C-alpha cells in the first residue's frame, strides 16, 4: 500500500496543473473498481447463501412430495353371500377370491372399453396378493356382502416408482417382481382411470415396515415417539432451566461456584451432540439400566442437550425485566423470593416460552444422540399401547426414522426419507412460527 | 412395594400435610390471618416440603446405591474357580442379572412359583429350557454357580426393597409429624419454604455441572477400560483402522490417525466453503445492505442454521453426492468412484456452517465502533478500504473466534459425515475419495449388537474422549478470544 501511494504521489505531482477535480484519474478509477468488486463479492456471497437455501428446499420438496401420494387400483366390486360361502368352502380359498376379483376386473375393463391382455401373475406383480386382501376384508366386514364396495388397492412400490419417475422403463429387467409388459398394462389401466393417484394416508398414519415393503412404510409411529420424547424434554427442561436461570440471574452471589456453573453451561452449549449420546448410553442405559430405544432415554439425553439453550434464553428475558419492578415489589414488603416469583417471572414468561419452543425445535431435529441409544436398529412396527408405556416401550423418533430409511439399501425408501423430512420440517416450522407469534404478541419493550 | 407406589403414597401424604399444616396454623391464630407470621399457604407448604424432600432424597440415594451394593455382594459370593475359561466376572454378572430377570418374569407370568424360583437347582432341571419356554432367551447354558448367584441376587433385592419401603415411608412420616408439630402461628414458615426453594434452585443450576461430570466420568472409565485392552500407543499412532467384526478381540487394528485425518480434511473443506461465503455475506449485510435487504436476507440465511443435520445428511447422500459423481465420476473426469466422499460431506457441511460464520461475524463487525469507520471515511478511504483496513483488522480476533467455533462445530458434526462421507478409513489426499471421521466411527462402533466389553465397542469411548477434548479446547480458546475482543471495545 505504501509504494502505491508513493507512486501516485509522484505522478500527481507531475500533472497537477491540468487535473480537474471532476475527472477521475487512473488511481481513483482503480480504487472505485476495487470498491465495486468488493461490494459484488459481498452480494455474491449473500446470493450464494440464498441459492443454497433454495436448492435445499427444492430438492426436499421435489424428492419428498411423491411420498405423500401413491398409485392405487380403484375398483367397484360386489361379492354376494353365495360367492362368499362358495369360496370359503374351497381348499384354495384365496385362489377363489382371486378368481372373483379377476372377473370383476374384467368387467371393469370392458365397461371402460379397454382391451388388454394380462395374466393373473401380472396382477400379482401389480397389486400383490389380491385374494388374501379381499378375503381379509370380507371376513372382517361380513355385512358388506352383497353391497358394492370400492376397493383402493395400492400398487407395488416398483409400479409406484414407475409412475412418479423413480423407475425408468429402460432400467426394468424382467424379474419375478416386475416385467416390462406389466408397465404396458399399468399404462393402459392408468389411461382407463383404473389406476389413480391417491393421497397416501399410510405414510402419515402408518408404522415402519420391514426392509422389503417400502410401500407400506409410514412415519406415524415415529411421530408418536418424537412426541413422547418432547413431553419428557418439556417437563424436565422447562422447570429445571427456569429454576437454574432464576438462581443465576437473581440470587447467585459472585463466587467460584457461580463461575463454575456459568463456564459449564457455556461449554455444554458447544459440546458435540454425539458426546451427549455417549453420555446417555453410558449413564442411562449401561449404568441406570433404562430400556434401550425408549423415548424416555431419548428425552433425558435431549433434555441435557437443550438445557443450556433454555437457560441462556431464559436469563436474557429475566435480564430484560427492569429493576424497577423488583424494587417496587420489595418496597411494598414482598420478600426477594416473592418479588421474583410473583412479578419478575410472569413478566419474563413470554420470552422464556419462546426460548423453550426454539430449544424444543432443536431437540426435535437432533439425530446423532438417538443413534447411540439404539433408536436406529429398531423397527417401529407398532404404536404404544397406552400413554405410560409410550415412554418406556422401544420406539423410533422422526429423525431416527428418516436415518433408518436413508440407510436402507432399497432406493424406494429414499422417497420416504425425503417425505419424512417434509413432515419433520413442517413440525419445526410450526414451532418456530408459534415462537415468533408469541414474541410479537407478548414481548414488551420497557 | 414398587417404587411408583412409594412415590404416590409420599405425594398423598404431602397433600394431606399441606391441608393439615395450613389448618393447624390458622387454628392456632384463631382464624385471624393477621396474627400469623406468614401467609397460610406457607405453613401448608412447609409440611409438604418436610414430608417430601427428605424421603425422596433417601429414595434416590437408595435406588442408586442398592444395585451397586448387591452387585458387589453377589460378585463376592461367586467362587473364583466358577468363572469359566475365556469369561470374566463382569460377563458372568451380566448372566446372573439376566437369569434373575428371567426368574422374575417366570414368577410374574405364573410359570414358576416363587419358592420354585428361589430353590430350583440346575443339576435337576434345565433352567435354560424352562425360561426359554416363557420367552426369556439366555445365551449360554446356565451353570449352577450362575443360578445360585442369581437366586442370591433376587433374595438380596427383595430384602433391599422391603427395607427401602420401610425407611422411605418412615422418613416421610417423621418429616410430616415434625413439621406439623411446628406449624404454629409464630413459626416462620415463609423463611423455611424460601430457603428450601433456594436450595432447589441451586440444585437445578448444578445440573450443568453434574452433566459435565457425567460426560467426563462416562468417557474416562470406558476409555481407561479400553486402554487396558489395547495399547494407547497403537491407538494414537496407528495408521490403520480395521476393526474385526467377528467378536474375537486381538485381531483388530484401531489406529486413530486415519480418522483424525478424515475429520480434519472434511472440516477443512467445510471451512473453505463457509468462511469466505459467510464472512463476505456478513460484511455485505452489515456494511452495505439497505435495512430492507438486511431484514430480508439475514433471517433467510439463518434458516440454514435451523435445519436439522439429518436433512443435510440426506441432502449430501442423495443430492450432492450423485451431482458431484456425475461431474467428477466415471462419466466425467473420472476422479470419483462413489457419491460418498470427503468433498460431498465437506461441501454440505460448509453450507450448514455459512449462517454460523455469518451471524457471529455480523455481531462482531457491528460491535466495531462507528467512530473508527467515520475516521477512515473522513480521511478519504473508500468504503471497501475502510472495511479491509480498519473494520476487519479491528474485528479480526472476534472473527478468528467465530471461525474456531465453526471449526469445533465441523469436527463434532455427525449426521452429515455418517451419511455423506463413506465408511472406509483412509489416509489419502484425494478429496473425491471416501474417508471417515471420528464421529462416524463412534456411531458405527456403538450401534448394532456389539458387546460393550470388547475393545471394538470401547474404542468409541476413547474416540469420544478425544473428540470432547478437541472441541472443548477449541471452544474455550474461541470464547476466550471473543471475550477479550469484546472487552476491548466496551
Same domain, A228 and A324: yes
**Residue A95 resides in a domain:** yes
**Residue B192 resides in a domain:** no
Same domain, B31 and B160: yes
Same domain, A204 and A235: no
H or E stretch including B324?
helix B321-328
Residue B30: all three cell numbers together: 384463631
In angstroms, what separates the C-alpha of A289 from chain B's closest C-alpha? 10
Residue A277: all three cell numbers together: 449420546
Q: Taking the CB of residue B314, how many other CB atoms lie within 10 A of it? A: 29
- How many domains does one find in chain B? 2
Q: How far apart are CA B46 and CA B63, in angstroms?
A: 26
Q: Taking the CB of residue A325, how many other CB atoms lie within 10 A of it? A: 15
Cα B400-B403-B408 angle, rounded to 5 deg: 125
Q: How far is CA A284 from the centre of its chain?
A: 26
**Residue B235 resides in a domain:** no
**Residue B239 resides in a domain:** no
- How many domains does one find in chain A? 2
Same domain, A319 and A256: yes
Give pLDDT tens digits for B335-355.
777 778 889 999 999 999 999
- DSSP for A148-200? EEEEEEEPPHHHHHHHTTSS-GGG----SS--HHHHHHHHHHHHHTSEEEEE-
**Residue A264 resides in a domain:** yes
With CA atoms as reference, the chain B residue closest to A399 would be B310
**Residue A29 resides in a domain:** no
Same domain, B134 and B24: yes
Map grid coordinates 360361502 to a residue.
A85
Q: How far is CA B139 from CA B122, B132, B448, in A?
A: 15, 10, 17
Q: How far is CA A183 from CA A126, A187, A216, in A?
A: 9, 6, 21
Q: Where is mean pLDDT largest: A60-69, B245-254, B463-472?
A: B463-472
Give pLDDT tens digits for A123-179.
777 777 777 777 777 778 777 777 777 777 777 777 777 777 777 777 777 676 777
CB A381 within 8 A of CB A222: no
**Residue B205 resides in a domain:** no
Helices and strands in chain A: count of H runs, count of E runs = 20, 3
Domain that holds residue A162: 70-212
Same domain, A232 and A361: yes
Contact call for A283 and B218, based on CB within 8 A: yes
Asked which of A160, A188, A212 is the last residue of a domain, the reply is: A212
Contact call for A38 and B67, based on CB within 8 A: no
Domain that holds residue B291: 253-489
Q: What is the pLDDT of residue B134?
A: 66
The average confidence (pLDDT) of chain B is: 84
Same domain, B89 and B175: yes
Residue B378: all three cell numbers together: 473522513
Residue B134: all three cell numbers together: 416363557
**Which tops the pLDDT comparison, A17 or A268?**
A268
Nearest-CA neighbor of A340 among A352, A323, A353, A355?
Answer: A323
Radius of gyration of chain B (CA): 32
The residue-averaged pLDDT of A404-430 equals 88
Q: Which residues contact B98 (CB under 8 A, 6 or more apart)?
A: B136, B138, B139
Mutate to test the interface with A, among B153, B199, B201 (most CBs of A within 10 A): B201
Map grid coordinates 399444616 to a residue.
B21
Same domain, B48 and B166: yes
Same domain, B183 and B278: no
ipTM over 0.95: no
DSSP B137: -
Output the domain CATH number for residue B374: 1.10.3720.10
Mutate to test the interface with A, among B415, B419, B420, B454 (most CBs of A within 10 A): B415
Closest CB to B443: pick one of A44, A247, A371.
Answer: A371
Residue A302: all three cell numbers together: 435431549
Same domain, A174 and A260: no
Same domain, A181 and A105: yes
Same domain, B39 and B179: yes
With CA atoms as reference, the chain B residue closest to A1 would be B389
Which chain B residues have a beta carbon less than 8 Å from that of A56?
Answer: 304, 307, 311, 315, 351
**Residue A361 resides in a domain:** yes
Q: Which residues contact B464 (CB under 8 A, 6 or more apart)?
A: A274, A275, A278, B219, B442
Cα B233-B235-B236 angle, rounded to 5 deg: 70
Cα B468-B472-B473 angle, rounded to 5 deg: 120
Give pLDDT tens digits for B117-145.
666 666 546 666 666 666 666 655 566 77
Q: How far apart are CA B314 and CA B312, in angstroms?
A: 5
Residue A57 pLDDT level (bands cut at 50, 70, 90):
very high
Asked which of A189, A212, A235 is the last residue of a domain, the reply is: A212
Same domain, B177 and B78: yes
Positive or negative: CA dihedral B426, B430, B436, B439: positive
Q: What is the pLDDT of residue A4?
A: 47
Same domain, B299 and B171: no
The residue-averaged pLDDT of A425-441 equals 90
Same domain, A309 and A415: yes
Residue A407 pLDDT level (bands cut at 50, 70, 90):
confident
Same domain, A287 and A422: yes
Q: How many residues does chain A have?
A: 446
**Residue A34 resides in a domain:** no
- pLDDT value at B187 more than 90: no
Residue A104 pLDDT level (bands cut at 50, 70, 90):
confident
Same domain, A260 and A351: yes
Output the domain CATH number for residue A360: 1.10.3720.10
Positive or negative: CA dihedral B45, B48, B50, B54: negative
Q: What is the pLDDT of residue B100?
A: 78
Closest CB to A337: pick one of B194, B408, B464.
Answer: B194
**Residue B242 resides in a domain:** no
Amino acid at each position: 500500500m505504501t509504494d502505491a501511494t508513493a507512486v501516485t504521489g509522484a505522478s500527481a505531482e507531475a500533472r497537477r496543473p491540468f487535473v480537474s477535480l471532476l475527472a477521475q484519474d487512473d488511481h481513483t478509477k482503480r480504487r472505485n473498481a476495487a470498491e465495486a468488486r468488493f461490494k459484488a463479492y459481498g452480494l455474491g456471497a449473500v446470493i450464494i447463501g440464498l441459492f443454497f437455501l433454495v436448492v435445499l428446499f427444492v430438492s426436499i420438496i421435489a424428492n419428498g412430495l411423491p411420498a405423500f401420494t401413491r398409485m392405487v387400483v380403484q375398483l367397484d366390486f360386489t361379492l354376494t353371500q353365495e360367492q362368499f360361502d362358495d369360496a370359503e368352502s374351497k381348499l384354495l380359498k384365496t385362489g377363489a377370491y382371486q378368481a372373483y376379483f379377476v372377473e370383476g376386473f374384467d368387467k371393469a375393463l370392458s365397461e371402460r372399453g379397454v382391451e388388454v391382455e394380462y395374466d393373473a401373475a401380472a396382477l400379482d406383480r401389480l397389486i400383490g396378493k389380491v385374494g388374501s386382501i379381499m378375503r381379509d376384508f370380507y371376513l372382517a366386514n361380513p355385512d358388506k356382502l352383497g353391497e358394492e364396495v370400492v376397493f383402493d388397492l395400492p400398487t407395488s412400490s416398483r409400479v409406484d416408482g414407475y409412475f412418479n419417475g423413480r423407475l425408468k422403463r429402460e432400467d426394468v429387467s424382467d424379474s419375478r417382481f416386475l416385467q416390462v409388459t406389466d408397465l404396458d398394462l399399468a399404462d393402459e389401466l392408468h389411461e382407463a382411470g383404473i389406476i389413480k393417484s391417491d393421497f397416501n394416508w399410510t405414510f402419515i398414519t402408518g408404522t415402519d415396515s420391514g426392509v422389503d415393503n417400502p410401500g407400506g412404510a409410514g412415519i406415524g409411529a415415529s411421530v408418536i415417539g418424537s412426541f413422547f420424547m418432547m413431553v419428557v424434554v418439556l417437563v424436565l427442561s422447562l422447570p429445571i432451566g427456569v429454576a437454574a436461570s432464576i438462581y443465576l440471574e437473581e440470587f447467585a452471589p459472585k463466587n467460584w461456584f457461580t463461575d463454575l456453573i456459568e463456564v459449564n453451561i457455556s461449554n455444554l452449549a458447544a459440546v458435540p451432540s454425539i458426546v451427549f449420546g455417549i453420555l446417555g448410553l453410558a449413564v442411562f442405559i449401561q449404568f441406570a439400566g433404562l430400556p434401550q430405544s425408549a423415548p424416555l432415554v431419548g428425552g433425558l439425553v435431549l433434555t441435557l442437550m437443550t438445557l443450556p439453550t433454555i437457560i441462556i434464553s431464559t436469563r436474557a428475558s429475566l435480564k430484560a425485566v427492569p429493576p424497577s419492578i423488583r424494587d417496587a415489589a420489595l418496597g411494598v414488603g414482598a420478600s426477594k423470593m416473592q418479588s421474583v416469583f410473583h412479578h419478575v417471572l410472569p413478566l419474563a414468561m413470554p420470552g422464556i416460552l419462546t426460548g423453550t419452543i426454539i430449544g424444543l425445535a432443536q431437540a426435535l431435529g437432533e439425530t446423532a444422540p438417538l443413534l447411540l441409544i439404539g433408536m436406529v436398529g429398531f423397527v417401529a412396527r407398532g404404536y404404544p399401547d397406552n400413554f405410560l408405556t409410550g415412554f418406556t416401550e422401544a420406539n423410533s423418533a422422526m429423525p431416527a426414522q428418516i436415518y433408518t430409511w436413508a440407510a436402507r439399501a432399497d432406493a424406494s425408501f429414499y422417497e420416504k426419507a425425503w417425505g419424512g423430512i417434509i413432515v419433520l420440517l413442517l413440525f419445526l416450522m410450526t414451532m418456530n412460527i408459534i415462537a415468533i407469534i408469541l414474541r410479537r404478541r407478548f414481548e414488551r419493550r420497557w | 412395594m414398587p417404587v411408583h407406589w412409594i412415590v404416590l403414597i409420599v405425594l398423598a401424604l404431602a397433600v394431606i400435610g399441606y391441608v393439615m399444616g395450613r389448618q393447624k396454623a390458622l387454628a392456632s391464630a384463631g382464624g385471624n390471618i393477621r396474627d400469623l407470621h406468614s401467609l397460610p399457604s406457607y405453613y401448608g407448604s412447609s409440611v409438604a416440603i418436610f414430608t417430601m424432600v427428605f424421603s425422596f432424597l433417601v429414595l434416590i440415594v437408595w435406588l442408586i446405591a442398592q444395585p451397586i451394593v448387591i452387585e458387589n455382594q453377589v460378585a463376592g459370593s461367586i467362587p473364583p474357580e466358577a468363572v469359566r475359561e475365556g469369561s470374566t466376572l463382569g460377563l458372568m454378572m451380566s448372566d446372573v442379572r439376566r437369569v434373575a430377570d428371567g426368574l422374575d418374569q417366570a414368577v410374574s407370568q405364573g410359570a414358576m412359583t416363587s419358592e420354585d424360583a428361589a430353590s430350583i437347582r440346575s443339576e435337576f432341571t434345565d433352567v435354560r429350557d424352562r425360561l426359554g419356554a416363557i420367552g426369556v432367551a439366555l445365551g449360554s447354558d446356565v451353570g449352577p454357580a450362575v443360578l445360585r448367584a442369581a437366586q442370591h441376587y433376587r433374595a438380596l433385592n427383595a430384602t433391599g426393597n422391603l427395607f427401602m419401603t420401610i425407611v422411605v415411608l418412615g422418613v416421610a412420616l417423621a418429616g410430616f409429624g415434625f413439621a406439623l408439630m411446628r406449624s404454629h402461628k409464630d413459626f416462620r414458615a415463609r423463611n423455611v419454604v424460601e430457603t428450601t426453594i433456594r436450595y432447589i434452585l441451586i440444585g437445578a443450576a448444578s445440573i450443568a455441572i453434574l452433566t459435565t461430570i457425567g460426560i467426563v466420568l462416562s468417557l474416562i472409565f470406558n476409555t481407561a477400560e479400553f486402554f487396558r485392552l489395547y495399547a494407547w500407543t497403537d491407538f494414537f499412532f496407528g495408521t490403520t483402522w480395521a476393526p474385526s467384526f467377528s467378536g474375537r478381540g486381538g485381531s483388530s487394528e484401531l489406529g486413530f490417525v486415519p480418522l483424525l485425518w478424515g475429520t480434519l480434511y472434511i472440516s477443512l473443506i467445510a471451512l473453505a466453503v463457509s468462511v469466505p461465503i459467510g464472512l463476505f455475506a456478513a460484511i455485505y449485510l452489515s456494511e452495505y445492505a439497505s435495512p430492507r435487504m438486511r431484514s430480508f436476507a439475514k433471517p433467510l440465511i439463518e434458516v440454514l442454521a435451523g435445519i436439522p443435520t439429518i436433512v443435510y445428511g440426506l441432502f449430501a447422500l442423495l443430492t450432492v453426492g450423485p451431482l458431484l459423481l456425475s461431474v467428477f465420476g466415471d462419466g466425467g473426469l473420472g476422479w470419483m468412484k462413489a457419491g460418498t466422499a470427503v468433498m460431498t460431506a465437506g461441501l454440505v457441511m460448509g453450507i450448514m456452517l455459512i449462517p454460523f460464520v455469518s451471524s457471529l461475524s455480523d455481531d462482531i463487525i457491528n460491535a466495531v465502533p462507528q467512530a473508527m469507520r467515520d475516521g477512515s471515511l473522513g480521511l478519504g478511504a473508500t468504503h471497501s478500504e475502510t472495511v479491509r483496513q480498519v473494520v476487519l483488522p479491528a474485528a479480526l480476533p472476534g472473527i478468528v473466534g467465530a471461525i474456531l467455533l465453526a471449526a469445533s462445530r465441523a469436527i463434532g458434526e455427525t449426521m452429515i459425515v455418517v451419511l455423506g462421507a463413506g465408511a472406509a478409513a483412509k489416509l489419502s489426499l484425494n478429496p473425491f475419495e471416501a474417508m471417515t471421521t471420528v464421529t462416524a466411527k463412534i456411531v458405527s462402533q456403538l450401534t448394532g449388537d456389539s458387546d460393550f466389553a470388547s475393545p471394538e465397542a470401547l474404542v468409541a469411548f476413547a474416540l469420544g474422549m478425544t473428540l470432547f477434548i478437541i472441541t472443548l479446547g477449541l471452544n474455550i480458546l474461541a470464547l476466550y478470544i471473543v471475550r477479550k475482543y469484546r472487552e476491548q471495545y466496551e
